[in-house]
Amino acid sequence: MTETRDFDFDTIIVGAGPAGLCAGMYAGRGLLKAVILESKIPGGELLNTEKIEDYPGFESILGRDLAERMANHAKKFGAIIRQATVDGIRRQPDGSFLVTTIEGDTYRAPTVILTAGGTPTRLEVPGEVEYAGFGVSYCAVCDGAFFRGHTIAVVGGGDAAVEEADYLTRYAAKVYLIHRRGELRASKLLQERLFENPKIEIVWNKKVVEVQGREQAGMKECTGLRLHDTLTGAESTLPVTGCFIFVGFRPNSDLIKEHFEHDAAGYVVTDDRMMTSIPGLFAAGDLRVQLTRQVTTAVGDATTAAIAVEKYLAERRSKKSA
């Protein structure tokens, strides 16, 4: 039986990555009663990143340590973190929201901050999960600096893969771009830049079927990729110490169960207060339309969203009392 949990929350924050935890902290500082719903351990993509070296104030910090600090900071100011898998956000006729979970609970609040991020498309091959954070990455800006002087591979053929391959040459000695077809899907301008870069070699008509590696002294490291030729069926091994995968990213915006403004890829469009086209529903972090997606941009979005929620609730109360 579905249980409606109405604890007089001022806002429900969906997702406990950097954006969600920051939103919870700021909501608490604003004396708002906030609950953060997260299906896993708080931290989001921070938990899939070995080291963070581009977050102000920390020259180097483990992703899991930064996640723990953010969660503790949010809880210090009163945010409640609950393990729950959200499956729907629905606005009610009175303007409030019902947030349902697969566990059968329903949470109610006048506002929601959606910070559920997105999911990088994985290759689903042996070794990919095992070496994630130990050579396998889905973010060039986050992890590129760890591969200074290395020989690495980028998997994909779209704009993201081509842009990131070019970006990674500022660190790596050599970058292989592996694409399963004989031509790229990226824009012509990006392709021209790629072809002119002497550090990049394109590996055509190949798909990765295994990430190879080893473990020494308790440390894992990527050593190469096993490739399958999509034309001949032949297999080969490409020695690399890093593999950056850019074959797609799906924003978790499908949790919104009514029409909302979004771009062609499903990223949520917001105004400068982080409010979506649905009044009272705010969005922050990776699922929002923006130029780049970093920890710093996620917490910036969340700061704005939480403060905007405070102002939105004050305006709502003022209208009701008028």
pLDDT at 222 (0 to 100): 97
Residue 280's nearest CA partner among 100, 10, 4 is 10
Q: Which pLDDT band, with edges at 50, 70 and 90, does 3 fall under? A: low
Q: Please state, as a whole number, how many other Cβ atoms lie within 10 Å of the Cβ of residue 60.
A: 9
Q: In the chain, where are the structural domains located?
A: 3-120+249-321, 136-245
Longest dimension (CA), the chain: 74
Domain 3-120+249-321 has CATH 3.40.50.2000: no
102-112: average pLDDT: 94
Phi, psi angle pair for 318, to nearest 5°: -65, -40
Better-scored residue on pLDDT, 52 or 184: 184
Q: Residues 215, 217, 220, 222: is their CA dihedral positive or negative?
A: negative
Q: pLDDT for 112-131, tens place per residue? A: 999 999 888 899 999 999 99
pLDDT over threshold 80, residue 161: yes
pLDDT at 73 (0 to 100): 97
Supply the DSSP symbol for 50: S
Which stretches of 184-264 are assigned E, i.e. beta strand? 200-203, 206-216, 219-229, 235-239, 242-245, 249-251
CATH number (3.20.20.30, 3.50.50.60, 1.10.10.10, 1.10.357.10) of 136-245 reads 3.50.50.60
Active-site positions read 139, 142-143
Q: pLDDT for 232-269, tens place per residue? A: 999 999 999 999 999 988 899 999 999 999 999 899 99
pLDDT over threshold 90, residue 51: no
Q: pLDDT for 271-314, tens place per residue? A: 999 999 999 999 999 999 998 888 999 999 999 999 999 999 99
